[in-house]
Amino acid sequence: MQFSLQDSEYIELNNLLKVTGLCDSGGMAKQLIADGQVSVDGQVELRKRCKIRKGQVVEYAGTTITVC
């Protein structure tokens, strides 16, 4: 899946999971991140508000999101 930042410089990781529909709520996204279930560029990411920028790849539950 691809996600376009459009006019923004970045999107916070928890918001990315929410707006792409991988999580029903921001609270659920935060919990999944805290549990170590989300990776950014192949590394487990535990920071809920990690800034995701163009070119980064986020993975969760077998789904890959490429940010462009």
pLDDT exceeds cutoff 90 at 18: yes
Domains of the chain: 2-67 (3.10.290.10)
Q: Which residues contact 29 (CB under 8 A, 6 or more apart)?
A: 13, 14, 15, 17, 18, 22, 23, 48
35-50 pLDDT, tens digit per residue, is 999 999 999 999 999 9
Structure tokens at 1: 């899946």
What number is the average pLDDT over the span 25-42? 95
Is pLDDT at 20 greater than 90 in this prediction? yes
Is residue 6 pLDDT above 90, yes or no? no
Rounded percentage of the chain residues whose pLDDT exceeds 90: 94
What are the C-alpha distances in Å from 28 to residues 9, 22, 57, 58? Answer: 24, 10, 20, 16
